[in-house]
A and B are shown apart, each in its own frame.
Chain A
């Protein structure tokens, strides 16, 4: 009996103490922020342009950012946030990363043996990389390492390939590639020129059978509103891209569709 009374007494004292502290020290939470934080995917990929999911959530709660900038978020979650904050979603065209190089071990030659750290960003420090083409993919996987969605594969022929269906276009691979080969392009674009070397076609052909040699067959066939020659290399017009049939014209196979199916 006495025990129960003392217990009750202590309970009241402790409860009062906590209540007092809450009253004088309590920090007001932001319920909107908490609701938004729960809808965040938590990938911290940086694709929204903010430092992490928490930063983007804060910006949304303060109505400094628009919902829909997050490439990792599902459409329903983005819509829910739009409803919560009363803002319209940003229209985003689905993008994907592409590695603009065709020179795998089959097609491209090496200028020397390389022995060192097996990472592209390290390998590029030694004579700009061991591949004959100074602008080509080294195939050591710096991009694949940073991809959190497993979208980049280093093929058995040692070249990086992005799988567009898995890619969320967060942009980490773009920053990781030391040769700046990776670009973000709209998923809807049918073809790309998988070559990034500005050198002359005849020079390129000597050490890579997959290079764009600037022969112009694609330009002549479709006309320059869809694809044109810039500095000896074919460049696709992003506003008015050519259709996929054009890939059968390319003699080296540098012009291909996003899923890397091409003429040759």
Chain B
């Protein structure tokens, strides 16, 4: 399941979730690493907490219809906590990530993982592990892409393609590369 979450069904490149920070933070490998770390932190904890809520509050009381709003609430809280901790630990990284840090809240990858766990009916442990692995997959894709973009910045790109267009083309090619993992058990 772990390999599946990281490689085969990679959140960014296969499920196409979390594209906003993927394109926004991948200009340099340093920020990509920082963002990856932040996402792993948030997603693992959210996996744990939403797993507990899912299994012990939503199912028994049959209020699954509230899962979206409750998950978002939890994720928002976790991102806030993560932001403050990061600001304390590394001011420069905090500044470098800028607006993208609070945007992890609306990152569909985080909510997506929580909802997939809820849909598949994962227990607390499985939910946590799945979320963590997905976050690792997200970070992997982000770091790979940032290295590609650093190289892209050195090349001569036709003016019409400079910046986002060529990044999107590259992301597409990277996604194709990851398709090679399809069918791996």
Contacts and interface: CB of A to CB of B under 8 A. Distances in A.
A102 B77 CA distance: 65
A3 interface: yes
Interface in A86-119: none
Given A2-B63, A3-B61, A18-B77, A10 B70 contact: yes
Contact of A18 (B57, B65, B80, B88): B80
A26 interface: yes
A6 B73 contact: no
Q: Which of B61, B69, B81 has the most CB of A within 10 A?
A: B81
Nearest to B89: A25
B77 A15 contact: yes
Interface string B66-82: 10011001101100110
Interface string A1-24: 011001100110011011001100
Contact of A14 (B61, B66, B74, B84): B74
Contact of A3 (B53, B65, B85, B87): B65
A25 B84 contact: yes
A3 B70 CA distance: 10
Nearest to A26: B84
A27 interface: yes
Interface residues of B, number: 19
B81 A21 contact: yes
B66 A7 contact: yes
Contacts of B69: 7
A86 B66 CA distance: 53
Nearest to B71: A10
Contact of A27 (B73, B74, B76, B87): B87
Contacts of A10: 53, 57, 70, 73-74
A27 B77 contact: no
Contacts of B57: 6, 10
A66 to B, nearest CB: 25
B45 to A, nearest CB: 11
Interface string B13-40: 0000000000000000000000000000
B17 to A, nearest CB: 23
A27 B87 CA distance: 7
A88 B87 CA distance: 33
A258 to B, nearest CB: 33
Nearest to A21: B81
B63 A21 contact: no
Contacts of B81: 17-18, 21
Contacts of A3: 61, 63, 65-66
Interface in A114-145: none
Given A10-B53, A14-B74, 20 more contacts: A2-B63, A3-B61, A3-B63, A3-B65, A6-B61, A6-B63, A6-B66, A6-B70, A7-B66, A7-B70, A7-B73, A14-B76, A17-B77, A18-B80, A18-B81, A21-B80, A25-B84, A25-B85, A26-B84, A27-B88
30 contacts: A2-B61, A2-B63, A3-B63, A3-B66, A6-B57, A6-B63, A6-B66, A7-B66, A7-B70, A7-B73, A10-B53, A10-B57, A10-B73, A11-B73, A14-B73, A14-B74, A14-B76, A14-B77, A15-B77, A17-B81, A18-B77, A18-B80, A21-B80, A21-B81, A21-B85, A25-B84, A25-B88, A26-B88, A27-B84, A27-B88
Interface of A: 2-3, 6-7, 10-11, 14-15, 17-18, 21-22, 25-27
